């Protein structure tokens, strides 16, 4: 069912192209991701065949120019697809988000032509999977405090350090790694590098045993005297911090869309269940207490959708979207947590077991309040924009 709305002069009537994207993503999610989603969550493993299919269908390089093998779609198409995918499997959603919003977008916007031809074309098609390596044991939200170092050796940089909480840490073929080259310059001394798997000294560390999005692999990555060719640096010397902040601004939109999908998925399951489950001789949907819950869930989901669409539209129109993306991420993630909790409550005891999916969605929802910056970080970003 198409979602139509207008906000702040923005027309959110979905075009035929947008509706086609929505249908394709929903079809893939229902027919390919839903079967086995509980097993993947239990086994903490994403099916490589599903990843290949996502690449073939264009879900891993949606916004990349066709010149580099991508779909050439707008951000709104991307968030529409993200919502449908994440309704069913948020692990697939986060893999898709990192590859699209952080890795592909960053390379296309700031990479050299040689870097785009060598890496972006394969990342857009799903032949390669990318990882974004900013967080460290002592530098999560404080991205300026990079302890990973990249010593300039002329033809190459010598990379040393540790990155953690890396989505697709094991699955990925290439990583975009932020590292400090000139500590005296602080954040202006940070660089970003394309680092290929298989280089001497590049080790994939432990896999995190997570509460949610368990099918997406999250690892610690360790670098010991890794020689990274000079031509693999993205941008000018000291561009790394600006690169990270620019990509994260767009990345928030992807995570907001993921959170929206989790919330919408939990609401749709609950609405269906409320019509089927009977107590005291009638469906629980006829009880006023359940109606109140469903009404508020639907309202919050729709409000989150409008904020996500607004941020996507602003980005597509080349306007400042920093505040809008932070608002979308903040509200959508809090909505995901609230709606999934209510979904478990509506299901009662059934909501507490895996078979009915809502307990998994509740576990998946929590991380959307944490990665790409916690809710508190989003509030700081919003306040900074308001006070300019």
Burial class (CB in 10 A: 0-12, 13-18, 19+), 387: exposed
Q: Catalytic residues, which ones?
A: 372
| Distances, alpha carbon 84 to alpha carbons 92, 295, 371, in Å | 11, 21, 20
**CA distance linking residue 298 with residue 11, whole number of Å:** 21
Q: Which of 36, 219, 6 is nearest to 131 (CA)?
A: 219
Contact 194, 172 (CB under 8 A): no
Q: Tokens 């907001």 correspond to what residue?
A: 256
- Are 335 and 304 contacting, i.e. CB atoms less than 8 angstroms apart? yes
Residue 180's closest CA among 143, 150, 153? 150
E-state strands within 181-237: 190-196, 202-207, 218-229
Residues 116/107, Cβ–Cβ less than 8 Å: yes
Burial 118-129 (b: 16+ CB within 10 A, else e): bbbbbbbbbebb
CA 345, chain centre distance (Å): 27
Q: What is the CA radius of gyration of the chain?
A: 21
Distance, CA of 63 to chain centre: 14
Distance CA 196, CA 122 (A): 13
**How far is CA 208 from each of CA 35, 302, 333, rounded to the nearest angstrom?**
24, 33, 22
Cβ partners under 8 Å of residue 289, min gap 6: none
């Amino acid at each position: 069912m198409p979602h139509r709305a207008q906000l702040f002069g923005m027309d959110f009537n979905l075009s035929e192209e947008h509706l086609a994207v929505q249908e394709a993503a929903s079809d893939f999610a229902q027919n390919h991701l839903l079967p086995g989603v509980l097993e993947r969550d239990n086994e903490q493993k994403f099916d490589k065949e599903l990843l290949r299919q996502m690449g073939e269908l264009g879900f891993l390089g949606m916004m990349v120019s066709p010149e580099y093998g991508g779909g050439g779609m707008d951000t709104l198409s991307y968030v529409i697809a993200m919502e449908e995918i994440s309704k069913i499997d948020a692990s697939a959603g986060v893999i898709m988000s990192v590859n699209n919003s952080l890795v592909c977008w960053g390379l296309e916007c700031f990479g050299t032509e040689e870097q785009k031809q060598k890496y972006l074309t394969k990342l857009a098609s799903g032949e390669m999977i990318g990882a974004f390596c900013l967080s460290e044991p002592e530098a999560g939200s404080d991205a300026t405090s990079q302890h990973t170092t990249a010593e300039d050796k002329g033809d190459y940089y010598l990379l040393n350090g540790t990155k953690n909480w890396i989505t697709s840490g094991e699955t990925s073929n290439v990583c975009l790694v932020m590292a400090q080259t000139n500590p005296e310059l602080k954040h202006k001394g940070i660089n970003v590098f394309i680092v290929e798997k298989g280089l001497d000294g590049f080790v994939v560390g432990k896999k995190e045993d997570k509460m949610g999005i368990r099918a997406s692999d999250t690892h610690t990555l360790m670098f010991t005297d890794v020689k990274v060719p000079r031509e693999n640096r993205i941008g000018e010397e000291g561009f790394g911090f600006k690169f990270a902040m620019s990509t994260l601004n767009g990345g928030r939109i992807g995570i907001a869309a993921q959170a929206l999908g989790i919330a919408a998925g939990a609401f749709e399951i609950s609405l269906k269940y409320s019509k089927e489950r009977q107590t005291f001789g009638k469906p629980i949907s006829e009880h006023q207490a359940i109606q109140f819950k469903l009404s508020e869930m639907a309202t919050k989901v729709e409000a989150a959708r409008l904020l996500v669409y607004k941020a996507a539209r602003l980005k597509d129109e080349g306007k400042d979207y920093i505040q809008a993306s932070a608002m979308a991420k903040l509200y959508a993630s809090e909505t995901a947590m609230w709606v999934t909790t209510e979904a478990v409550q509506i299901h009662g005891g059934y909501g507490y077991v895996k078979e009915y999916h809502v307990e998994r969605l509740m576990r998946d929802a929590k991380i959307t309040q944490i990665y790409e910056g916690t809710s508190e970080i989003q509030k700081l970003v919003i306040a900074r924009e308001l006070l300019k």
